[in-house]
A = this chain, B = another copy of it.
Amino acid sequence: MYEDRIRCAAVRGKITSAAQAALLIDNGMRVGASGFTRAGDAKAVPVALAERARSEGKPLRITLITGASLGHGVDSLLTDAGVLARRLPFQVDNTLRKAINRGDVMFVDQHLSETVEMLRAGQLGKLDVAIIEAIAITETGGIVPTTSVGNSASFAILADKVIVEINLAQPLALEGLHDIWIPGRRPHRDPLPVVRPSDRVGTTAIEIPPEKIAAIVITNKPDSPSTALPADEDTGLIAGHLIDFLQHEVSHGRMPSPLPPLQAGIGTIANAVLAGFADSPFEPFTIYSEVLQDSTFDLMDAGKVTFASGASITLTEKRQAQVFGDLARYRDRLVLRPQEVSNHPEVIRRLGLIALNTALEFDIYGNVNSTHVGGTHMMNGIGGSGDFARNASCAIFATKSIAKDGAISSVVPMVPHVDHNEHDVDIVVTEIGLADLRGLAPRERASLIIDNCVHPLYRDLLRDYYRDALRFGGQTPHVLREAFAWHARFQETGSMLPERNVAV
């Protein structure tokens, strides 16, 4: 049985149920699970673990490390069953988010390129068990991942025991798409040899000793589809501002043509803005990113993208059927890499990426909050945005200028949590307009951002703040006692607007 999926005869006897496999996990263990932006996640064993925790009635609490977010409500199930003591490095789950913000789950929010680097160095403790979704196990015991690579390769290499979930719903046609390359131990490490997005430098399977495979579970369930919303008028305007800016850069020789490889972050804004490039005048370009969303395939279909490198493929339901049903159409133009390669500072800086990521809010000096609602409550996590923004040749952050029908301004006097600071942010853009911050001092940035990016509802209020701040002087003027007044007002009244403005 499953000869095409489990080609290494020596491990075929390891097939078992998810419940049996979950018994390999004990209270207090560190577990690494596949899954990146809802793609290629382990779908059965974590569910069985939650069921066991519920039924056993004794403590079963673990540290769960993944590539990035999981699908199928797995984080909810684990949270509700009390299994998650510690979770890293990213999540997008509503139930888990609440537990994190209550302080019930310790959430370690990390740059996505760094988790396995720390794990490899022993800085996060020993990894007990890895759970890896695969399309197949090769003749030599190599694990062929599914729709994401994420941290799976290093998890399998570093864990004491490996559980493989063979997912029959994931097409075998994915085989050959992956490029598994793992850096050597420091300080004696060679350069990472990727110099073009299309370079293949590793193997197509995760090579580990087959005897480490402790259990194999058969599943048959597609990935959770992407929840990214379609483009709308505002994302169209943002895309328009960006395309104008990039054309201007090319025409002044500050960017090459074709453009440098593009990266776009997870979620609605970046996906919709990238999709807007289908109507752009640019020469066909490449993508070097972490997650490949619908927009990547839209741009391939439009002849705008010639090659895309990522750590995962996360698509809406409609696009899933179309892309995975006809993978031959795209496979020569795709590669999936470990996230420490897709997000590696070395490669990002070498290629000079254009990096497009979403801000929750930014301030008048160009500092960006990507993670903390109101400065205190975790939304999802920083993800790869820091890996890309720091090392890109042009780091762009996009957001709509207001949220909640105007009760929130996405441009504020001071962000109450800084994920990307003034040193790393080149361009901020909203549907109102774009501010090019490169080479500007903070006072210059403030004027430009207020003039170009702020919603009219808040523009005069920000001008007032900045004028008051100037009285205190400094490189980066602020009124310290008022810097978070907007956020505090939102906490207290449900709107950042003072009452007089709401009344008007």
The stretch of A3-11, A106-114, A238-246 that contacts the partner chain: A106-114
Residue A352 at the chain B interface, CB threshold 8 Å? yes
Expressed in whole angstroms, the Cα–Cα distance for A56 and B254 within the complex equals 36
Nearest chain B CB to A189 CB, angstrom units:
5
Complex CA distance for A374 and B187, rounded to whole angstroms? 38
* Complexed CA–CA distance, A472 and B414 (Å): 19
Bound form: Cα–Cα A418–B370 in Å = 14
- Tell me if B377 and A101 are in contact (CB < 8 A): no
Q: Which residues of B contact A484 (CB under 8 A)?
A: 480-481, 483-484
CA distance A386 to B422 in the complex (A): 12
- Among residues 476 to 493 in chain A, which have CB atoms less than 8 Å away from a CB atom of chain B? 476-478, 480-481, 483-485, 487-488, 491
Q: Please name all residues of chain B whose beta carbon is closer than 8 Å to the beta carbon of A124 when the two chains form the complex.
A: 438-439
**A57 interface residue per 8 A CB criterion:** no
Cβ-based interface call for A444 (8 A): yes
Question: Are A478 and B382 closer than 8 Å at their CB atoms?
Answer: no
- Is A474 at the interface (CB under 8 A from chain B)? yes
- In the complex formed, the residue of B with least CB distance to A123 is B438
Bound together, the chains give a CA A499 to CA B66 distance in angstroms of: 49
State whether the Cβ of A190 lies closer than 8 Å to any Cβ in chain B: yes
List the number of copies, as a whole number: 2
**List of B residues within 8 angstroms of A416 by Cβ:** 414, 478, 480, 483
Contact with B along A181-194 (1 / 0, CB 8 A): 00000111111110
A185 to B: closest C-beta gap in Å: 8
Interface residues as binary, A453-481 with B (CB distance below 8 Å gives 1, 0 otherwise): 00000000000000001101111111011
Q: Which residues of B contact A86 (CB under 8 A)?
A: 441
With a cutoff of 8 Å between Cβ atoms, the chain B residues found around residue A72 in the complex are none
Question: Interface digits, A95-109 against B, CB 8 Å rule (1 contact, 0 not)?
Answer: 000001111001111
Q: State the interface size on chain A (CB cutoff 8 A).
A: 88
- CA distance in complex: A109, B391 (Å): 17
A378 at the interface (CB under 8 A from B): yes
The A387-443 residues at the B interface (CB cut-off 8 A) are 390-391, 393, 414, 416-419, 421-424, 426, 438-441, 443
B418 contacts A367, C-beta separation under 8 Å = yes
Cα distance A376–B378 in the bound complex, in angstroms: 27
Q: Which of A143-151, A221-229, A310-318, A342-350 forms part of the interface with chain B?
A: A342-350
| Known pairs A189-B350, A478-B376, A484-B483; A121 contacts B254 (CB<8 A) | yes
A375 adjacent to chain B (CB < 8 Å): yes
Of chain B, the residue at the smallest CB distance from A186 is: B352
Q: Are B386 and A350 in contact (CB under 8 A)?
A: no
Nearest to A107 among chain B residues (CB) is B441
Contact of A100 among B193, B346, B419, B475 (CB under 8 A): B475
- Identify the interface centre among A438, A472, A474: most chain B CB within 10 Å of its CB: A474
A260 to B124, CA, bound (A): 18
Q: How far is the CA of A350 from the CA of B376 in the complex (A)?
A: 34
Contacting residues, chain B, for A476 (C-beta < 8 A): 372, 375-376, 378, 417
- CB distance B108 to A390 under 8 Å? no
A23 within 8 A of B: no
Give every chain B residue within 8 A of A102 (Cβ-Cβ).
473
Known contacts A372-B474, A376-B478, A382-B423; A393/B121 CB under 8 A = yes
Distance from A30 Cβ to chain B, minimum over Cβ atoms (Å)? 10
Q: Nearest chain-B residue to A382 (Cβ)? A: B423
Return 11 A-B CB contacts under 8 Å, by A number: A103-B443, A110-B423, A123-B439, A186-B352, A188-B195, A191-B191, A345-B390, A375-B476, A376-B472, A376-B475, A382-B423
Contact surface of A with B, Cβ cutoff 8 Å = 86, 88, 100-103, 106-111, 117-118, 121-125, 186-193, 195-196, 252-256, 260-261, 344-346, 349-352, 367, 372, 374-378, 382, 386, 390-391, 393, 414, 416-419, 421-424, 426, 438-441, 443-444, 469-470, 472-478, 480-481, 483-485, 487-488, 491
